[in-house]
Chains A and B, each alone.
Chain A
């Protein structure tokens, strides 16, 4: 999908300094990485892509739909994965949480159950269907959170540091899963390995986009900033 960010500056209510300044980008690539220091505005940028944050100036549109006026439609097409799976899992059990996203899609109970079962099997969670979500391991929780987003078949998946709380093995698991996804992905991360093979990487620093291009150049720029 085509994401167009035009003349965007965002200041949170009650704050004086903008956290994103003068941003203009068009994103169409299949795999887009976003890196930058803590507090550089990455999460704010990511949240703009599905209208969770509406910019105080300028516009963000996804496939021609402005997030300011069409937030709900945009969110139907844009899945979002957060850092902490415990905040994203909203239902008590695994299957219930996956079913949650399908509740208002006009599907029958049987259709919902069938889709939930399929997607749980596809992601190796079938044996946990009726288990309490809070008893899963950290990696399994993030896998569940992702599964619950993917079941709604978003066309774009935005992920905000999905591996920051995970160990190396689970980070690899998430990376492999992302690599297999057919849909477009925007991934915010501190793990530079994750974006090394991406089509395009954006580097944020102090609320500005400071580099935009192929991974090699972006990673070099980021390392220089950090040293």
Chain B
């Protein structure tokens, strides 16, 4: 089951046991502070701290690589661009901070049950109740969103395969239409399932 990024990996480390709210707050604080990181040394220190978090959480290296890999598509062009317009120092800072933040966000989701993360958001939403926000709904929407990611990816894979089988070229429209139709059908079915399972308001 390795290679799936961003999914909870059960464990008993300190990082796992930290309350979800603390982890999310930490992520927000680091995100805010990261704009003040100005030198390559500090950016490297930030990355090192995050990597230390992975070590403390005893997550396998393969997961670390799986977290970084999708980022390369953005980080490499961004780095090259920064080197050209702003020089090596600036490039190292920008890429380092990006790397650190994404890895940190992944560390949080890898060590926290989705339900616990959602409960934090629901708790925050509860304070916004006076504005008419229904916290339960916010939580449900988040879970459904997370659950939908693999479903949509699967659907996209099926559509692409079907097109290959029929020898169609890669037209954006020929891809988007069946994908949207399929996603809507799925959403409809899921709505029925939700109602059948007691969320019918």
A159 to chain B, nearest CB (A): 11
Known: A91-B115, A135-B4; 7 extra A-B contacts, CB below 8 A, are A87-B192, A91-B143, A92-B143, A92-B146, A104-B198, A132-B1, A134-B147
Convert A89-108 into 0s and 1s, putting 1 for each residue whose CB lies closer than 8 angstroms to a CB of B: 11111001001110010000
Q: Which residue of A lies closest to B143 (CB)?
A: A91
Given A92-B146, A93-B114; A132-B4 close (CB under 8 Å): yes
B146 to chain A, nearest CB (A): 5
Question: Looking at the complex, which one of A76, A80, A92 makes contact with B114 (CB distance below 8 Å)?
Answer: A92
Instruction: Give 16 CB contacts A-B under 8 Å.
Output: A72-B198, A84-B189, A86-B154, A87-B189, A87-B193, A88-B190, A88-B193, A90-B194, A91-B114, A92-B143, A92-B146, A101-B197, A131-B1, A134-B150, A134-B154, A148-B197
Q: Which residue of A lies closest to B146 (CB)?
A: A92
Tell me if A87 and B114 are in contact (CB < 8 A): no
What is the number of residues of chain A that contact chain B, defined by CB distance less than 8 Å?
Answer: 33
Is A152 an interface residue, CB under 8 A from the partner?
Answer: yes
Tell me if B197 and A90 are in contact (CB < 8 A): yes
Chain B residues with Cβ under 8 A from A134's Cβ?
147, 150-151, 154
Tell me if B147 and A87 are in contact (CB < 8 A): no
Task: Tell me, in angstroms, the Cα distance from A89 to B190 when the chains sit together.
Answer: 8
Is A82 an interface residue, CB under 8 A from the partner?
Answer: yes
Is A50 an interface residue, CB under 8 A from the partner?
Answer: yes
Given A130-B10, A135-B1; A82-B193 close (CB under 8 Å): yes
Is A75 an interface residue, CB under 8 A from the partner?
Answer: yes
Chain A residues with Cβ under 8 A from B1's Cβ?
131-132, 135
Convert B159-201 into 0s and 1s, putting 1 for each residue whose CB lies closer than 8 angstroms to a CB of A: 0000000000000000000000000001001101111111010
Chain B residues with Cβ under 8 A from A93's Cβ?
7-8, 113-114
A117 to chain B, nearest CB (A): 14
Given A99-B115, A101-B198; A90-B193 close (CB under 8 Å): yes
Interface residues of A (CB under 8 A from B): 47, 50, 52, 71-72, 75-76, 79-80, 82, 84, 86-93, 96, 99-101, 104, 130-135, 148-149, 152
Q: By CB atoms of chain A within 10 A, which of B10, B154, B189, B197 has the most?
A: B197
Task: Tell me, in angstroms, the Cα distance from A100 to B140 when the chains sit together.
Answer: 10
Q: Which residue of A lies closest to B11 (CB)?
A: A130
Chain B residues with Cβ under 8 A from A52's Cβ?
192, 195-196
Chain A residues with Cβ under 8 A from B198's Cβ?
72, 75-76, 101, 104, 152
Listed from nearest, the 10 A-B pairs whose CB atoms lie closest are A87-B189, A134-B150, A80-B196, A88-B193, A130-B10, A92-B146, A92-B114, A92-B147, A132-B7, A87-B190
